Amino acid sequence: MSRSKTAMILFVGELLADLITWQDFHVAEDFVMKTGGSPGNIARFASQLGVPTKIVSRVGDDPIGSRILKKLEQAGVDISSVQIDKDHGTTLVFVQKTPDSPDFFVIRGADRYLKLEEHEVENILDGVSIVHLSCWMLTHEELYDTTMKIIRKALEKGIQISFDPNCRDKLFSCKKINLSRVFEILKCTTYSKPSIDDAVALFGMPHNLIFNCEKRSEGLFSSNEIDVELVEYYVRKFHEHGVKYVVLTAGKDGAFAFDGEILVHIPASARKVVDATGAGDGFWAGIYYGLINGYDFLQACNIGSMVAGYIVGFVGAEVDITKLKTEFENLKR
């Protein structure tokens, strides 16, 4: 992507509050509330890096919704297209921290009632170079219809589509991922950043590939947990479904970026891991910083890894990453 002072990233998806506990849900009494929703987190991080950002979502007319919008506005995110719902409260996600992927359940509120008329879609796309979509936008029929309105108009205008395949069965109204909707979006997608968990949720575990260190390719990475053939399988699946640029993130094993021709391993850059919350969102923000500033996709993914590595040194996703902007500006000199 060529560098442009006016290029803006439009984020479309959920804004919510995470209520986090380190206790079992059945007995938990202590919860910490953090403003969340991946699109909002990415927009906030990207804006702190100097990327022009705008978000389209819906929150309740309540203190939680106000708190979310205040944090986004303070970070420089354009919140003028966020709708305020008078009838439904802001969406809540209860998170139980576990040694592996956190368990969670959702009390779906205002975000699922986002609706846009054709003229509204036209207006929100003004000045936009990339539309970033969350899988939460596919979970209900009305949201999916809105998503397709945005995609069709964006493609007409030559705007690229990014898709975060953060899909889980429990998010969908039928309690099962609607794969036909997901695959329809992937056909239109330029950039996607699935995690290993995302890839497994969509494509399952292939029977002929297992976590087996004896099959490991020499020199690509040193982990004893991820098989390179498995990585290649998932990257290929996303590419075959239409995604032009794919980066598969694998926690402490780093990430694997594919630009349509070569697959490159990007080592994890964290010096110290305190909390992985928000790392994936930071990775996305770093990618967008790179793309907006004229870096190629593989270079942008390296910047994404740097942002993620910084964020995991803090607790929670409400991390101030503005100091990284100066570091990145120095890299360009």
Residue-by-residue DSSP string for 199-221: HHHHH---TT----GGGPPTTT-
Mean pLDDT value of segment 126-152:
97
301 and 247 Cβ atoms separated by less than 8 Å: yes
pLDDT level of residue 278 (50, 70, 90 thresholds): confident
238 and 203 Cβ atoms separated by less than 8 Å: no
Helices (H), 128-195: 141-156, 179-186
Contacting residues for 73 by C-beta, under 8 A, at least 6 apart: 79
CATH 3.40.50.410 fits 8-331, yes or no: no
The proportion of the chain whose per-residue pLDDT surpasses 90, expressed as a percent, equals 74
What pLDDT is stored for residue 273 in this prediction? 78
81 and 114 Cβ atoms separated by less than 8 Å: no
Q: Is 214 exposed, middle or buried (0-12, 13-18, 19+ CB in 10 A)?
A: exposed
The β-bridge relationship of strands 128-134 and 8-12 is parallel
pLDDT level of residue 6 (50, 70, 90 thresholds): low
Q: Decide if pLDDT at 330 tops 90.
A: no
Q: Which residue has the higher pLDDT, 272 or 188?
A: 188
The model scores a pTM over 0.85: yes
Q: How many CA atoms lie within 13 A of 111 on its CB side?
A: 31
Residue whose entry in the numeric block shows the structure tokens 């929703």: 37
Q: Which residue has the higher pLDDT, 138 or 226?
A: 138
Phi-psi category of 56—alpha, beta or left, where left has phi over 0 and alpha has psi -120 to 50?
beta
Mean pLDDT value of segment 242-263:
95
What are the backbone dihedrals phi and psi of residue 269, each rounded to the nearest 5 degrees, phi first? Answer: -105, 0
Phi-psi category of 175—alpha, beta or left, where left has phi over 0 and alpha has psi -120 to 50?
left
What pLDDT is stored for residue 39 in this prediction? 97
Q: Decide if pLDDT at 82 tops 90.
A: yes
Q: Decide if pLDDT at 217 tops 90.
A: no
The β-bridge relationship of strands 32-36 and 16-21 is antiparallel
What pLDDT is stored for residue 333 in this prediction? 59
